[in-house]
Chains A and B, each alone.
Chain A
Amino acid sequence: MPIHFQAIRVRLPEREIFARLGFRKGLTSLSAAERETVSKTIEEASDIVLLKGAALVMDIRDRDDAGITLEGGTVFPSSSLTGMLAGCSGALLMGATAGQGIMDAIAACSSQNLTRAVILDAVGSEMADAALDWIMDYAGQDLLRSSRRLTRKRFSAGYGDFSLENQQTMFDMLQLGEIGIRMTPAKVLIPEKSVTAVAGVLRLT
């Protein structure tokens, strides 16, 4: 059974948000007033974001170059994923969303204030990603008690040969509907600032 988190709190990833918006330290020229305006918008956006998540640890039953098989028979056909999970006894499946509120706020200001909309968009993306970091911290603490740890990296459907079709499997196994996520036939998660990923679980000696 997956665990669902209805309110994930993260440190506001302001540096990452600025980077996503193209800010480069030492290159980008930003006045104090401009920085204040952007920071204020980021803060307002973070108030609107409501991070939710889901997590599920599964044992890996079988693996070969073509993919991995989890306990219960679920198959993820992907050699990239197999590579990332080399040496792992299990996998942490996770999903997170920044919620519908931020998408509504983006839509509301897109036509009149696209500047604000792109900042809100960046906040939604980075906070959803930060929610995955949080889930890995949470799972990592729990796993340490049973002498296990997570891989540092995680892998999402749609990258390498881990096709986006696997998003359906992730959606079903994590029961993402419980945290307000739905999926289109094209495997697009809604709200749009929603992400899934897989990390490996390693045994410690």
Chain B
Amino acid sequence: MNARQKIQHIIRRRVLILDGATGTELQARGMPHGVSPELYSLNNSEIIRSVHRGYLEAGSDIIFACTFGANRFKLAQYDVTDVRGVNRKLAGTAREAAGSRGLVAGDIGPTGRFVEPFGDIGFEAAVACYKEQIQGLLEGGVDLFVIETMIDIQETRAALIAIKEVTDLYTIVTMTYDGSGRTLNGTDPVSALVTLQALGADAVGCNCSTGPAEMIPLITRMKPHARVPLVAKPNAGLPVLRQGKTSFEMGPDEFAGNVRAFVYAGANLLGGCCGSTAEHIRALKEQCSSLRPVPVQRRSISAVSSHARTVFLDRGAPLTIIGERINPTGKKALQQELREGKFSLVNSFAREQVRKGAALLDVNVGMPGIDEKAILTQAVKNLVLATDSPLCLDTSHIDALKAALRLYPGRALINSISAEEKTLEDRLRLAASYGAMFILLPITGSSLPRTALERQEIVRRVYAAAREHGFTRDDFMVDALAMAVSADGQAALETLKTITWCSRTLGCHSVVGLSNVSFGLPERAWVNASFLSMAIASGLSCAIANPESVELMNVKRAGDVLAGRDKDAAGFIGHFSVARDHAVPAPAVQERLSVEELIARAILEGDRDRAPALVDRALDEGVKARVLVDGVMIPAIQKVGELYEKKVYFLPQLIASAEAMQRGFERLEPFLGEGGDVSTTKGRILLATVEGDIHDIGKNIVGLMLKNNGYDVLDLGKDVPPQRIIAAAKDAGVDIVGLSALMTTTMMNMGETVNRLRDAGITCDVMVGGAVVTGEFAETIGASYARDGVDAVRVAQNLLSRKRT
């Protein structure tokens, strides 16, 4: 029996016992702090052998070679370059210790760096780094591999791909999840499982970071979706820091007391991580002896994943929308960006489509004149950072598809694989090697099959070929081929028949490119929406469509309800329920308020849309502009300022009120100064962020508040040199110069500016503010200090009234 067979044999009968911690055991045997456990073990082979033997005697079926940090990045910190040699020797030591008593796993851990697109290590560099380690481990005689304590799914993929490209030995993969239930890089256990089992991991699970109680729920979450055995290697509790000493205080009995819960949750392989000892493993083994593990319950799964989200394609679930907008056809701006290697529109389309309800995103960058492989790869890297949505890779170029699949940190959907003889085998092999799902396009290349019967025959042929590569019905969806009804009146019906056949006869998923059905017709949206509704009733799984069409998405939601795919219409009701807590009084009450009271209320409530309309109404009713400003609006905004100072209002409310006031005031400006109404500004204030500083949001708030309170504001913007401030102050005859700075370095420019103002003979008051500015500092430079926008109004008032008296 080879190692793989042994492992599978054990798992069928009982829980397979892994080993416990190595680092803490070496420390307990005298390893000094700060040294590399791998290099220490090389020089103290008897000590590491005793650790290995301890676990074997305690009952471990598999021991891990002490090679967790034996990759080139980690060893480089100790100036060691013979990565292969280190791994070979340490694997050999474990091999000697194990003899025939147990299996030896080559232990592969993180490099300490993140892999593109999450970090600065190139993907192929990561694969090469791991291959180097793998070679040494194979030479040392390991029976299997374990990739453990991984945070970055992309680095994990690189390690797994490296193993699969070198050997077919059994491979266990565990990632480490913190208290949030995700890795530090945001990957959840289910997405990791879907991705890694598709990529060829033989067992998947979690280790480290948490104790047993925190890890059990992760296994529970994974089990329903697992096609492979599940692994758990918790720490011996959470680390406790006491007087500078950290320790894991969970004893063997307490540790093993969690075994039953682990097994019922679905774990098939159990061990221990930091803080666990041979005694912990012994206790674990004893507790497991009477328990039968829950076997793997799934053979296949319809799911696509990103690094942080999984979309399940369950039968009877609501229709899944695949957003179609990332496609340069007919989009000049997108074409231009792609030619220039820019992706801001791609990212923007991605975000918008997800916001409007797309669960997956189709990514198509095909157009003449570009290197599609390079651009698709870049697009994928950008999209992975821009969105959590799984991607559908849409390209006819096999090199581009291969590059994108290799780099994509999830389980992708391929759009598409056709029945064309010369490409079918290559594409199926490629899809299988990365475990991708695919859209089956029932086209042979010679002509488009018009009827459902023709399409069914092609699908059966491709499915037979796909089974040879290990695919099941759950691993693909049939493109039911939506064709233009304007060209063939029966086209929609044939598509619907194909969908029904997929759903009710073959038992597989289906997808359509929705908008094709209405090509050539006017008012296409109606045709698309009606067709969608019929397709949902026929059992359609997915639609490639534009989720920004409100009609389409509402028809989809309604269709899901009518087809019984939205349980209790919960999704539909949730989407259309609007819970509003109206601060505005009921209409009956509003009618009793005067227009002046309504304007004041609009300002108080920050209603920027109503304020201008109410001002117009007031003017129509004959209220004087000056009365509105001085008698209604300024008192209202001053009230807002008071509420802000009492913290009854916070900043967005203050600004919304100020903007409502400003919009109302803009309506009044043409009328101020009419009919003897002398426009009286309270004063003219110059505002600027000082030279070298580019922060201006605080200054903008101050400007808005000052304007609202009747001051004339001249805003010079940011990074303004003193000479510009001087010139503007002279020209405009300002009453106050207001300066803003956010940094301790640029704050010094305030003093410089004040000195230069005085040297130029400008004697007006200066007011300063900013995050690092204080009253004491203001005093040292001969200026007044304003804490915020509301305070600035008060300070300006005080300065000007003092000047006038």
Binary contact readout B683-705 vs A (1 if CB under 8 angstroms, 0 otherwise): 00000000011110100110010
Q: Provide the residues of chain A in CB contact with B583, threshold 8 Å.
A: 31, 33-34
Contacts of B299 in A (CB 8 A): none
Query: 0/1 per residue, B199-225, Cβ < 8 Å to A?
Result: 000000000010000000000000000
> Does A11 lie at the interface of the complex (its beta carbon under 8 Å from any beta carbon of B)?
yes
Q: Are A114 and B186 in contact (CB under 8 A)?
A: no
With A6-B114, A9-B186, A121-B697: A115-B656 Cβ-Cβ less than 8 Å: yes
Interfacial chain A residues near B180, Cβ < 8 Å: 11
CA distance A119 to B701 in the complex (A): 12
Would you call A118 and B34 a contact (CB within 8 A)? Answer: no
> Could you list which residues of chain A lie within 8 angstroms of chain B, going by C-beta atoms?
3-7, 9, 11, 18, 21-24, 27-34, 38, 47, 50, 106, 110, 113-115, 117-119, 121-122, 134, 137-138, 141-142, 144-149, 158, 163-165, 178, 184-188, 190, 192, 202-205
**8 Å CB interface, B92-118 against A:** 112-114, 116-118
Identify the stretch in B414-422, B485-493, B525-533, B647-655 within 8 Å (CB) of chain A at 4 or more residues. Answer: B647-655
A33 to B185 Cα, complex, angstroms? 33
Given A4-B120, A114-B704, A158-B772, decide whether A31 and B581 contact each other with a Cβ distance below 8 A: yes
A47 shortest CB reach to chain B, Å: 5
A28-B648, A118-B701, A138-B151 known; A6+B241 contact, CB < 8 A = no
Give the nearest-CB partner of A179 in chain B.
B120
Report the separation of the CA atoms of residues A122 and B182 in the bound assembly, to the nearest whole angstrom: 26
For A3, list chain B residues within 8 Å (CB).
112-114, 119-120
Are B693 and A118 in contact (CB-based, < 8 A)? no
Chain B residues whose CB sits within 8 angstroms of the CB of A38 once the complex forms: 652
Identify B745's interface contact among A7, A34, A119, A187, CB under 8 A: A187
Q: Pick the contact of B744: A22, A144, A158 (CB < 8 A).
A: A158
Known: A5-B119, A114-B701, A186-B743. A147 touches B385 (CB 8 A): no
What chain A residues lie within 8 Å of B592 (beta carbons)?
A: none
How near does chain B come to A22, taking the closest CB pair, in angstroms?
4
Q: Can you list 9 A-B contacts with CB-CB less than 8 angstroms, sorted by A residue number? A: A6-B119, A9-B182, A18-B650, A38-B652, A117-B697, A141-B176, A146-B33, A163-B744, A186-B743
B23 within 8 A of A: yes
Contact status B27-A147, CB under 8 Å: yes
Minimum C-beta distance from B632 to chain A (A): 21
Interface pair B239/A188, CB less than 8 Å apart: no
A164 touches B697 (CB 8 A): no
B27-44 contacts to A, CB under 8 A, are 27, 33-34
B246 near A204 (CB under 8 angstroms)? yes
Residues of chain A within 8 A of B581, CB atoms compared: 31-33
Instruction: State how many angstroms separate the Cβ of A101 from the closest Cβ of chain B.
Output: 8
Residues in B621-666 with C-beta less than 8 Å from chain A: 644, 646-653, 655-656, 658-659
Do residues A27 and B743 form an inter-chain contact, with CB atoms below 8 A? no
Q: Does B606 contact A (CB under 8 A)?
A: yes
Q: A204 to B651: give the CA distance in the assembly, Å.
A: 44
From residue A147, how far is it (CB to closest CB) to chain B in Å? Answer: 5
User: Measured between alpha carbons, how far is A33 from B695 in the docked complex, in Å?
Assistant: 30
Asked if B582 CB lies within 8 Å of chain A CBs, one says: yes
Chain A residues with Cβ below 8 Å from B648 are 27-29
Closest-by-CB residue of A relative to B209 is A141
CA gap between A17 and B732 in the complex, in Å: 39
Most buried by A among B112, B119, B579, B651: B651
Which of A7, A122, A141, A147 is in CB contact (< 8 Å) with B33?
A147
A6 contacts B116, C-beta separation under 8 Å: yes
Question: CB-CB contacts of B753-778 with A at 8 A, as 1s and 0s?
Answer: 00000000000000000001000000
B250, chain A: closest CB distance, angstroms: 16
A6-B385, A113-B659, A137-B184 given as contacts; is B112 within 8 A of A118 (CB)? no
Is there a chain A Cβ closer than 8 Å to B244's Cβ? yes
Contacting residues, chain A, for B308 (C-beta < 8 A): 9
Taking CB atoms, residues of chain B closer than 8 Å to A11 are: 180
| Chain A to chain B: the 4 pairs with minimum beta-carbon distance, closest first | A9-B186, A186-B692, A32-B581, A22-B650
Contact B246 A134 (CB under 8 A): no
Closest to B34 in A: A146
CB distance from B50 to the nearest CB of A (A): 20
Residues of chain B at interface, number, CB under 8 A? 65
B351 part of interface (Cβ distance < 8 Å)? yes
Most buried by A among B239, B652, B743: B652
In the bound complex, do residue A149 and residue B745 qualify as a contact, i.e. CB atoms below 8 Å apart?
A: no
Residues of A within 8 A of B804 (CB): none
**A200 CB, nearest partner CB in chain B, Å:** 13
In whole angstroms, how far apart are the Cα atoms of A20 and B693 in the complex?
21
Distance in angstroms from A104 CB to nearest chain B CB is 9
B454 to chain A, nearest CB (A): 44
Query: For the complex, what is the distance from the CA of A108 to the CA of B501, rounded to whole Å?
Result: 51
Separation of A6 and B646 alpha carbons in the complex (Å):
42
Q: How far is the CA of A6 from the CA of B116 in the complex (A)?
A: 8
> In the docked arrangement, what's the CA distance between A29 and B246, Å?
45
B651 close to A118 (CB less than 8 A): yes
C-alpha gap A113/B184 in the complex (Å): 35
**A192 vs B698: C-alpha distance in the bound complex, in angstroms?**
14
Determine the distance from Cα of A110 to Cα of B653 in the docked complex, in whole angstroms: 16
B655 touches A114 (CB 8 A): yes
Q: Is B397 an interface residue (CB 8 A)?
A: no
* Chain A residues, Cβ within 8 Å of B23: 145
B245 at the interface (CB under 8 A from A): yes
Tell me which residues across on chain B come within 8 A of A203, comparing CB atoms: 33-34
A131 vs B245: C-alpha distance in the bound complex, in angstroms? 28
B300 contacts partner chain A, Cβ-Cβ < 8 Å:
no
A32: which of B27, B118, B579, B656 is its contact (CB, 8 Å)?
B579
Counting CB contacts under 8 A, is B746 at the interface? yes
Query: Which one, B120, B184, B385, contacts A138 given CB within 8 A?
Result: B184
Can you name the residue of chain B whose Cβ is closest to the Cβ of A32?
A: B581
B426 within 8 A of A: no
Cβ-neighbour of A144 out of B27, B239, B646, B704 (below 8 A): B239
Neighbouring A residues of B119 by C-beta, 8 Å:
3-6
Contacts of B168 in A (CB 8 A): none
Give the residue name and chain of the B residue nearest to A106 (CB).
B697
- B117-162 contacts to A, CB under 8 A, are 117-120, 151
In angstroms, Cα B584 to Cα A34, docked, is: 12
Check: B331 CB closer than 8 A to any chain A CB: no
B597-628 CB mask vs A (1 if < 8 Å, else 0) is 00000000010000000000000000000000
Q: How far is the CB of A75 from chain B (nearest CB, A)?
A: 19
A138–B182 Cα distance when bound, in Å, is 13
> Does B178 lie at the interface of the complex (its beta carbon under 8 Å from any beta carbon of A)?
yes
A47 to B692, CA, bound (A): 30
CB contacts (< 8 Å) of B182 on chain A: these are: 9
A7 engages B118 (CB within 8 Å): yes
A180 → B minimal CB distance (Å)? 12
A186 adjacent to B649 (CB under 8 Å): no
Residues of A within 8 A of B692 (CB): 184-186, 188
Query: Judging by beta carbons under 8 Å apart, are A27 and B646 in contact?
Result: yes
The answer for the CA separation of A158 and B180 in the assembled complex, in Å, is 33
Flag whether B580 is at the interface (Cβ < 8 A).
yes
Give the docked Cα–Cα distance between A141 and B235 (Å): 13
Residue among B114, B646, B704 with the most chain A CB within 10 A?
B114
Interface 1/0s, chain B 167-193, versus A by CB < 8 A?
A: 000000000101010101110000000
List, in ascending order, chain A residues with CB within 8 A of B651's CB.
21-22, 118, 122
Q: Mark B56-94, 1 if CB is under 8 A from A, else 0.
A: 000000000000000000000000000000000000000
Question: Is A192 touching B186 in the complex (CB atoms < 8 A)?
Answer: no
- Known contacts A24-B647, A186-B746, A204-B245; is A110 also within 8 Å of B579 by CB? no
- Are B650 and A149 neighbours in the complex by a CB distance under 8 Å? no
Give A27 to B649 CA distance when docked, in angstroms: 8
Smallest distance from the beta carbon of B25 to chain A beta carbons, Å?
13
**Given A6-B119, A9-B185, is A192 in contact with B606 using a C-beta cutoff of 8 Å?**
no
When chains A and B are docked, how far (Å) is the Cα of A55 from the Cα of B384?
A: 22
The minimal Cβ–Cβ distance linking B40 to chain A, given in whole angstroms, is 11
Question: Chain B residues with Cβ under 8 A from A149's Cβ?
Answer: 241, 246
